[in-house]
Amino acid sequence: MLKKFFRNVSLDRNDTNDSDYLRGVASTFLARLDRPAIVANLDGVVQYMNELAEELTAWTAAEAVGKPLSTVIKLAGKTESTSIGGHFTQAMAKATAMPLGGDNVLIRADGTQIAVEGSVAPVQGTSGRIVGALVLLQDVTRLRKITDSLAHEARHDVLTGLVNRREFQARLEVALEGSRKRNENHALCYLDLDQFKVVNDSCGHAAGDQLLRKVTELLKSLLPLDQTLARLGGDEFGLLIQNAGLDEAVRITENMLSAIKAFRFYWEGRTLSIGVSIGVTVITRKSIDLKTVMSIADAACYAAKEKGRNRFQVYNPDDIELDQRQQEMRVLSRITSALDENRYALYYQPIIPVCAPPDNSQHCEILVRMINTDGTLVQPAQFIPAAERYNLMPALDRWIIKRVFEVFHHRYPTSELKRGHQWSVNISGTSLSSAGFVEYIRDQATRYEIVPQSICFEITETAAIADINRVNNFLWGLRMDGFKFALDDFGIGMSSFSYLKSLPVDYVKIDGEFIKNILDDKVSLAMTEAITRVVGVMGIQVVAEYVESIAILDKLREIGVDYAQGYGVSEPIWLFTAMSLPWRKHACAS
């Protein structure tokens, strides 16, 4: 706009005196401009500057006029072309405005520096001939600080100040590229703090945050400045050790492990200690990609955790445990995509009365199968462990509950019909602490007009032992609505009876390993008899799983078990596939 402005201004001057022309136009019009402005002639010599330019550059007009632009405007920046002279030459040669770029710093006359943006534009005389240049500047120090701050926050974790997962992965990509092109070797460590959740739960999130900051300071003190330590999320950290082999990585890992072991956290008069599990792998030219490298390190970390925690595990391609963990991680994307595409099928397995008094209702357990993209079925053992380990079960449990309630309502649309059936639905331990889970169950029950007494939620004994208070809160919350509960896989831990008295459960399902061996193993028989006798005294009914033959069923009848379930009673029967709509008429049990 200013270029056009100069071209259209006509003063009583001759273009042959370009400098006088420039000074006349500038003094008449630029004095009122609200931006710092400097005018130079064709030789790049300053002819005029307004007061705002004086303030910006710390030069007075008297000092600047007659001096080269490069003397008055000294620029420093990250780009190769940062001199004002280069921009001036291009603007003159191309007869168009040239921006100064977005990362320039102006070195003022007093030596101080400020961030600036601006442009150099040619100025035309009344005959259309270029007679000089106009330099417009703007102080963007505050704006650049805000921008830099936002950029820093986008790459760093707010709590610890470490780089975040996104930035860490970007640096890993650079390291992978260096390995491929220059045969560089690097190491990757995946750290997961042990007992952090205990601190968070017992002392509060403020204590947990402070602990993470202290651990960050400790780890940074052990590492060279050129290594990248990142917070990947929660209590998980990543470490990229550049230009290092396995020996160096192990040395650094052992130092971190020892330091964490010796570390003590003090909070409100309490002294707490934590541990750390670390997975270690190397990055070489043979490394496949970022996802695989991260997966290997994560799998090694979990292996360290499962071997007792507070230790490290180096990835070994021949390690069966790590290979299993990698297979689990590969199935994660399949689990998620199957959820997105409704590629799960529900089956039911009848639960028949053995010694239980008749209650005129038909019982069954709902089972889930994942469907591959080629239509083949995936058994629970092939995807449930991975879903539990990587916290996908809450999403899967919600999918199952919604579909079960939906199918149940379509099969039995009236309350009277619903009361004639009881469906058991498994709930993962990780779902019990999922935010809003109880409310979700209630919402779905209301939506599909579920009679709560017709639904029995099954929770494993292992999940109950892990957090008895959390399980109790979950059970009592829904028990008041009328839902029923079963404790699954019962008898694994012999502390079972002591806590069973406090749990509001209707059924105990004896672990199938006891039932399968009941005819040949005296211990299994004795366990089944003891559980049946003690649980019966508590007023809780007993269900035997894995009943694989009529002989086992007869033995259970002798013992007095209430219900039986297994392939000897009935195989699982197809109930529902989301992709199979419209509805098919299948009953839970005939």
* CA contacts within 13 A on the Cβ side of 568: 19
Banded model confidence at residue 394, pLDDT cuts 50, 70, 90? very high
Based on its alpha-carbon atoms, the radius of gyration of the chain, rounded to whole angstroms, reads: 37
Could you confirm whether domain 332-580 is CATH 3.20.20.450? yes
Give the pLDDT of residue 2: 44
Average pLDDT over residues 398-414: 95
Separation between Cα atoms, residue 274 and residue 265, nearest integer Å? 8
Separation between Cα atoms, residue 499 and residue 486, nearest integer Å? 14
The H or E element spanning position 353 is strand 344-353
Find the range with the poorest average confidence among 32-41, 260-269, 553-562. Answer: 32-41
In this predicted structure, the answer to whether residue 16 has a pLDDT above a threshold of 70 is no
In the chain, DSSP finds a helix count (H) and a strand count (E) of 24, 24
Tens digits of residue pLDDT in 525-543: 998 999 999 898 899 999 9
Burial class (CB in 10 A: 0-12, 13-18, 19+), 2: middle
**Domain ranges for the chain:** 2-145, 156-317, 332-580
Which residue intervals of 263-383 are DSSP H helices? 290-306, 320-340
Give the pLDDT of residue 370: 92
| CA-closest candidate to residue 367, choices 351, 354, 391, 388 | 351
Residue-level length of the chain: 590
Could you confirm whether domain 2-145 is CATH 3.30.450.20? yes
Highest-pLDDT range among 368-372, 384-388, 583-587: 368-372
Q: 156-317 has which CATH code? A: 3.30.70.270
Banded model confidence at residue 195, pLDDT cuts 50, 70, 90? confident
Sequence-separated contacts (24+) of 21-27 with Cβ below 8 Å: 21/125, 21/131, 22/47, 22/48, 22/123, 22/131, 22/132, 23/47, 23/48, 25/123, 26/50
Tens digits of residue pLDDT in 39-59: 999 888 999 889 899 999 999
Find the range with the poorest average confidence among 69-73, 112-116, 321-325, 442-446. Answer: 321-325
Task: Please tell me the pTM assigned to this model.
Answer: 0.51
- Cis bond upstream, residue 582 (ω within 30): yes
